[in-house]
Amino acid sequence: MAAEGGLGDMGAVGANADDALRFHIEQRLRERAAQADETTSLFYLGRAYRPAWDDPARVEAMLAAIESVRVHGLDPADFNPERLRRAAAGATGVEALAERDLLLTDTLVELLFQLRYGKVDPRSLYREWNFTPPPNPYERAGELAAVMQAGDLRAAIEAQAPDLPLYRALLRGLAHYQALAMLGDWPKVAGGPTLRPGARSARVPALRERLLVEPESGLDEATRASTHYDPALVEAVKGFQVRHGLEADGIIGAQTLLALNTSPAQRVAQIRANLERLRWVAADLRGDRLLVDIVGYHADLVLDGQPVWASKVIVGKPARKTPSLRDSVVNLVFNPKWVVPPTILREDVIPRAARNPGYLASQRLRVVDRSGQSVDPSTIDWAGARQSGFPYMIVQQSGADGSLGRIKFSLSNPYAIYLHDTNARSLFGRAERALSSGCVRVEKPYELARLLLDDPVAWSAEALQAALDSGRTRTIPVGREVTVLLHYSTAALDEQGRLQLRNDLYGRDEPILRALATQRSALPR
């Protein structure tokens, strides 16, 4: 007799057929390709190939969990629920029951993986990606077994998603913007000259209409036809800017206009991209860590579970992006010399030296050969250097006015990306700070140095200052090992814990969305 819901009676296999069913499960697993994910095989090995899906209610629980992945920005179609229903309802005979059991388990393996680690492999998008990878099949088989043993299977599945404040805020934001998207787009504000407080413009009514759709605006509908950019509207714009990680100056420039004209459907897509990013990096967002928020131009240091340092930073311009990396500080360099890296040498220094014979001297740059001997720049064919090759290095001597400032935080990556002080401190006053050639400039390097040296006696504030004032280049190992995360995200929490959706500085959301839209070809993973 079929169980309610049409899933068949999966407890109908008699004791005499139990060994045969185990045999067929084991045989099917042995026939899998060598490169297949072994999670399912290891799971069944651990249970002596006993079937795992003899309770129709648990199949229903998994199907319900599949439908609920929508709230995580994932696609239930990836798990082919209709195929699962057909297999569960129509399986008869030992071979079909074995196939059904494996299909259900393979699907659960994929479901748990997407919820916990993401659907998209970030290495397919970023060649330098080195954040902590998902665990191996042995560990995931253990995770699968723990989920299968849970009394409430659906709750156990849904508990696999990252338990992070930002992730939870994104889930709420996704539901909010999905509801707004059902109502259609909101009013657009036309482009034009920068709109400043107090101005009068035919664009102001559209601006007011746009902000009226947000309950946080506090605007009075009675003034919706006014062309005056009045104080109440300015305050509403400032609130909007805060919610989108923009400078709260009330000025409608290009970045604020872009955020205003981003539709609810586009916000849904943006949130989905950021949910996927968090699944990739959730394992690294614990323990001691120095997190560089690339899009937010900000860095935070957390030690022993407590925030101990925060600073503005300057990151790579869109043409020379700061990569997303997991790294660590290996040492500090006081009064560092700067060896001009290849990209800056090729694209900046050589062309400027070709145009201006005095450029190198004005920047305190000198040319040296591979043995460190100085080379007279007047003997170099600068105009032809980019075509014929450049067999020299260009070095800037240490000093507070050097490009690296007085402290360099050396990382271990092979891309010549590191954190450092700067001689252009006024740039920290800008709201948009994508200005470097890829490295990260830090506004508060001295405090960070003392925390990483982790020796308040040997490295008091006075001792550090004396070492810097000596002018001598010194390399000092860190006293405390801290994971450094250069992380790109167009979503964050503001100081009040509210969701902040920001403009996509490097255009990295769209490739994630394209990858999420790609249907998975087959199970198992």
CA atoms within 13 A on the CB side of 458: 9
Q: Give the span between the Cα atoms of 394 and 341, in whole angstroms.
A: 9
Closest CA to 439 of 505, 344, 507, 331: 344
Q: Give the span between the Cα atoms of 418 and 330, in whole angstroms.
A: 10
Q: Please check whether residue 445 is in contact with residue 421, taking contact to mean a CB–CB distance below 8 angstroms.
A: yes
Q: Give the span between the Cα atoms of 271 and 173, in whole angstroms.
A: 7
Q: Residues near 133 by Cβ (< 8 Å), separated by ≥ 6?
A: none
Query: Is 439 a catalytic site residue?
Result: yes
Angle at 94 between CA 92 and CA 100, to 5 degrees: 70
Structure tokens at 99: 């196939």
Q: Give the span between the Cα atoms of 491 and 505, in whole angstroms.
A: 12
Angle at 244 between CA 242 and CA 245, to 5 degrees: 70
Q: Return the number of other C-beta atoms located less than 10 Å from residue 403's C-beta.
A: 22
**301: which strand partners?**
290, 309
Closest CA to 404 of 336, 478, 349: 336
Q: Give the span between the Cα atoms of 198 and 315, in whole angstroms.
A: 34
Token pair 């989108």 is at which residue?
244
Structure tokens at 290: 């120095």
Q: Please check whether residue 296 is in contact with residue 488, taking contact to mean a CB–CB distance below 8 angstroms.
A: no
Q: Please check whether residue 431 is in contact with residue 404, taking contact to mean a CB–CB distance below 8 angstroms.
A: no
CA R_g for the chain: 29
Q: Give the span between the Cα atoms of 75 and 444, in whole angstroms.
A: 43
Q: Return the number of other C-beta atoms located less than 10 Å from residue 187's C-beta.
A: 15
3-state DSSP assignment of residue 78: helix
Q: Give the span between the Cα atoms of 204 and 403, in whole angstroms.
A: 44
The CA-atom distances, in angstroms, between 30 and each of 91, 94, 334 are: 21, 17, 59
Burial class (CB in 10 A: 0-12, 13-18, 19+), 296: buried
Q: Is the dihedral of CA 208, 212, 214, 218 positive or negative?
A: positive
The one catalytic residue in 24, 298, 420, 487 is 420
Query: Is 298 a catalytic site residue?
Result: no
Active-site annotation, residues: 420, 439
